[in-house]
Structure 1
Amino acid sequence: MKQTQLLANRLKEVLTEGKWVIGTNFKAQIENLNWKESTQKMHGLNTIADLTFHTSYYIAGVASVLEGGNLEIRDKYSFDYPPITSEQDWKNLVNKFCGDAERLIQLVENLPEEKLQQTFVDEKYGTYHRNIDVIIEHSYYHFGQVVLLRKMIKGTIED
């Protein structure tokens, strides 16, 4: 199997389709929450909405580069998004996350194999392969936080 397909499969596993290890994925954890659950603060931690936007922000930034665009994402903006004040706001964010994830997966699947070892924008960022790996690791990190927050929230919100 090609490296690009292996990387795309790992992205699918964490972002949209995975059931391996803990039997879920990022999309499954966010799509059935309501907006109040997604914005509920727990112990001063980021909210699920915060983490969803943040993860989607980086996914979209890398996807843009894979489409031939510039690297325009900056850490200082990675939590800057309009407040979630309604169910529609939350659904829009979930849809953006899912769309960004699907777009990145497709781009990685179609990436020429030789591109993986080329420099990603600037030498200081390493290779395309490294940046795709970083997105996978970053997504798993925040996915784990979402799973824990969701468990805490579901234990404190009455139906």
Structure 2
Amino acid sequence: MAGLESGEQPRQRGGAAAVRWTPAVEDELGLKVLEQYGNPSLDEVTLLSRPESAVAARRLTQCVVLRLWGLSPQLSEHAVLLVSELVGNAVRHTGARCFGLRMMRRRGWLRMEVRDPSRGLPCLLPVRPLDTSGRGLFLVDKLSDRWGVDLLARGKTTWFEMRVADR
């Protein structure tokens, strides 16, 4: 089975074989998603507006930020979380059939964009300790260096930027 260390057996979970997580398995999954959807750092990729697309977006982000761009694991973790939040908002609140994901890097910065056909603007709401939802943009606001929304003729692009140390 692909991704298993030599001699390693898959674990059984709910009657189906589950592969034990390792960095090698995660790399393999990331590369498969990159092959399936394309590289969002080269051109916008299109994902269906379904909850499971968040998994693909997270894997694409980790593959690009950590593996292709060689940025720090902590920066990758934050970028993955924030992309997941923007994707979640696009899936839950826009009514779109699909959305676009794009990643850019320029000297000292990385920028992540989620484009959808809705012109409805996201709202940064105050968050209280016992709130169980509505934290997405709060996290984007706290963990990114800047974020915003660009209205388009048809839809919008919600984006965030983070500073990166260039080598």
* Structure ranking higher on relative contact order (CA contacts 8 Å, 6+ apart): 1
TM-score exceeds 0.5? no
Higher-Rg member (1/2): 2
Q: TM-score, normalised by structure 1?
A: 0.28
Q: TM-score, normalised by structure 2?
A: 0.27
**Higher relative helix content:** 1
